[in-house]
Amino acid sequence: MHNSKGQVSENMLPEASSAENSVSLPRRKFLATAATTAAAGTAVAGFPYIASAQTPIRLRFQSTWPNTFIYHEVAEDWTRKVEEMTGGRLQIQMMSAGMVVPGLQVLDATMDGVLDGAHGIPGFWFGKNTAFGLYGAGPDFGMNSMQLLGWVEYGGGKELYREVQEAARVNVQSFLLGPVPPEPLGWFNREINQVSDLEGLRFRTAGLAVDMFNQLGMSTVQMAPADIVPALDRGVLDAAEFASATDDRVMGFPDVARYYYQRSYHMMNNPCEIMINRRRYDSLPDDIKVILNHAAHAASADMHWKNMHRMSQDYIEMQEEGVEMRRTPPAVLEAQLRAWDAVIEKHSAENEVFARVIESQKAWARRVVYWHNEVTPDQELAYNHYFG
């Protein structure tokens, strides 16, 4: 047996007979001590956190999403990975939007210590600094979501993100994760065949994309997710975009709109963000800080796979249920790129860190997207060969 320090105590050993007192007792004490110490060492080697019996660190997070959304689900996936990787030493409760504060107030609540952390997307903080919008909206210069996260990790994007935060006086520890497929152009009740069909439409969008759609002559409206479908149903909105086939279906868009237009340059990439209160993060053990980063990388891969599985299912099922899927006309896509040129020029002139993020993204995309296009054969050609 062991005392509180994990050592063998003499008064815990069996009594020796009087005949053994002079020689056998010291020898038996030595053997008992050696055996117990060896067993304890084996236990510690196999289960390092059981021996320490530490009280788990418990943190309270909130996401910006309702609990029915796939993005809240993947936020919970990250918390499970953290708990598994830390052997239960760190346990994070991920609450859904509104349980403590409204969804779009989680960043301020995290900085103020009302929450220990949160899950959202960088574009939500566009109002604090326009450069946040480039981590999820913007032309992206041909990058897909994995290439954008590659820029974050290896092209200087992570360091620039910290500069954007400093410029906006946002003091949290952030991890960008989760490649998200390109968002559809949106839901419409009339066909879109040319750019002029967009002019004057009351259209819900968010973040930096507001400026781009305004350039196309649309009358943009920003509103909370829960209000979008009712506004479409009442005719307050003519059209709207939100997220993906999975979340759009959950929200009820198929019940209020006829056409679902795919392909758009308004949000080609929209990575998620884990943010942690700075003091809370600094107080964590160094090995747990490393685990938080590795868990974000693992969650990114898992989210990528889960998205392709779930979103493809929901897309096809909506088609089978009568939603008319359309591809955005090339003329509209080209007009979007020209509109982005004007938006980039305006904000780069007004915001120095915005301009530096743009130049960094362009340098990465010029090399990486070029290489990707050079080496990747036409996927649609192969698909049509087998299934077309």
Q: Please report, in range form, the residues annotated as the binding site.
A: 183, 204, 241-242
Contact (CB, 8 A) for 257 and 187: yes
- DSSP structure class, residue 138: B
Length of the chain equals: 388
Sheet with 172-177: list strands edge to edge: 90-95, 57-63, 117-120, 272-277, 172-177
Contacts of 102 (CB under 8 A, 6+ apart): none
Judged on CB neighbours under 10 Å (0-12, 13-18, 19+), 111 is middle
Q: Which residues does the annotation place in the binding site for Na(+)? A: 242
How far, in Å, CA of 29 to CA of 9, rounded?
10
Q: Which residues does the annotation place in the binding site for substrate? A: 183, 204, 241
Beta strands of the chain (E only): which ranges?
57-63, 90-95, 117-120, 172-177, 186-188, 202-204, 219-221, 239-240, 259-262, 272-277, 324-327
